[in-house]
Every structure is written in structure tokens, then in C-alpha cells.
Amino acid sequence: MLEFWYSERCTREIRLICSIGVCISIYFCSRIAQLAPLWVGLSLLSGMLIHILFTQYLKLATSHPYRITLRNGIYIFQLFALLSLIYLLPEPHKWVLWLQCLGFHALGLFLVSIYLNRAKRYD
């Protein structure tokens, strides 16, 4: 998914629709149970960190020996971060809280990548 998100095939409209869809799903999940601000912050930070790591991956030459290792490390970190959030979340409505964590994780990635790849305005 990250390769598609950072490719030329992913247009601004697709990014906007994905961001709006994630916000709507977070809103509907929060009507069942609200996520604590600590978990929101941790989820947003992990999404931003994924963006930073993936931009470093994209800067490496295709023949660089650590390119595949970094890509696999990014996916392992992302999986570990989300699974540890599942384990640490409070028990009542755990699945709804985890869906919100997943949404905020994606939203952190979306917002940072959209902001840094926006069209520059010159006056």
C-alpha cells in the first residue's frame, strides 16, 4: 500500500477520498467508545514515523544493499506498533478502540505525506 500511496498513480482525489473515509470511520467508532488522547497521539506519531522511514527508503538507490532491509523493517515496525497497541488498549470495546488507533495511524501518515508533497505556491 505504501508503494501505491507514494506513486504517481495515487492522485490527489484518491488521497482526499481516503482521508475523508478514515475520518468518517474514526467518527463512527468514537460514537461507541472514545479513544484516550494518549493513544491518539501514539497512533499519529507512529503514522508520521512510517512516513519518515518510507521517504528515507525512497531516497536510497535501487541497488543499495540496505534498501530491502529497510523496507522490511518498516513493515515489521508498523505491524509491531499496531499489535502492541492492541495488547495495551483497555478491554471494554477493544476492537472499536483498535480501529480508531488504526485510523489515526493512517491519518498521521496521510496528513504528513499530503502536506509534504503538496504543490508549491509561488507569488
Q: What is the pLDDT of residues 59-81, one digit of tens each?
A: 888 888 888 888 889 889 889 98
Q: Does some domain include residue 7?
A: yes
The residue among 120 and 22 whose pLDDT is bigger is 22
Decide if 121 is inside a domain: no
Evaluate whether residue 36 is within a structural domain.
yes
Residue 27 forms part of a structural domain: yes
Q: Is residue 12 part of a domain?
A: yes
Q: What's this model's pTM, rounded to 2 decimal places?
A: 0.85
Residue in the block written with cell 467508545: 33
Cα distance between residue 76 and residue 22, in whole Å: 22
pLDDT of res. 48: 92
Is residue 82 pLDDT above 90, yes or no? no
Least confident piece of the model among 18-22, 41-45, 83-87, 113-117 = 113-117
DSSP state of 119: P
Residues 89 and 39 sit within 8 Å (Cβ to Cβ):
yes
Domains identified in the chain, total number? 1
Residue 13's domain comprises: 2-116
Q: What is the DSSP letter of 9?
A: T
Residue 123: its pLDDT value, please?
58
Q: Is residue 54 part of a domain?
A: yes
Flag whether 122 is in a domain. no
Residue 92 has pLDDT above 90, yes or no: no
pLDDT in tens, 5-43: 888 888 888 888 999 999 999 999 999 999 899 999 999
Cα radius of gyration rounded to whole Å, the chain: 16
